[in-house]
Every structure is written in structure tokens, then in C-alpha cells.
Amino acid sequence: MMTTVRLFGFVCLLGGLSMLASCKQGEGERCQLDEDCTEGLYCELAGNTRAQGGFCKLLSSSSTVIDLSVPQDLSKPADLTQKD
């Protein structure tokens, strides 16, 4: 009887901990990845590495987006001439 009660308590504890672990962070809360934040927020790093972490911040339409895509036509050499 006592073993069943302990087992039930242990299962409830694990269930509660797993629910807490799956919660997403709100605006201003600590994060390391964008996936740590709730929908509509991103993780803005406070330092140079993800290990240092950052804080969840609201996505805004005025944010600067940098396009890092590779050009499709790679058959032409890049134009490296200086333009003034």
C-alpha cells in the first residue's frame, strides 16, 4: 500500500516538473534560443555567445532583417571593384 502511494506521488512530481520544463518564456525573461520564448518573441543575446543568454523581446516590424541567403547564380564571378 505504501509503495503505491509513493509511486503515485513520484509520478505526479515528474508530471509537474515536465509541465514546468515545457513552459515558454515571456517578454523580458531569460532565454538562450529563440525557441525558449513564446510565439511572437525572439531571444536577444546580452553577450557574444548563447551560453551567456539573453532576454525574450517582442518582434517588431521596424526590426532590421539581414538576408544571409546565397545568390542563386554562382556561375558569374563576384564583382569586387570599388564603387565610390
54: domain CATH number? 4.10.40
Q: What angle do CA 68, 70, 75 make, to 5 degrees?
A: 155
pLDDT of residue 44: 92
Given a cut of 80, whether residue 31 has pLDDT beyond it is yes
* The three cell numbers locating residue 53: 543568454
pLDDT tens by residue, 36-57: 999 999 999 988 888 888 999 9
Q: DSSP assignment, residue 61?
A: T
pLDDT of residue 12: 64
pLDDT of residue 6: 79
Expressed as residue numbers, the domain containing 46 is 23-61
**Total structural domains in the chain?**
1
Residue 57 inside a domain? The answer is: yes
Query: 60 to each of 24, 37, 54, 70, how far by Cα in Å?
Result: 19, 15, 17, 25
Higher pLDDT, 10 or 63: 10
Given a cut of 80, whether residue 77 has pLDDT beyond it is no
* The three cell numbers locating residue 51: 551560453
Residue 67 inside a domain? The answer is: no
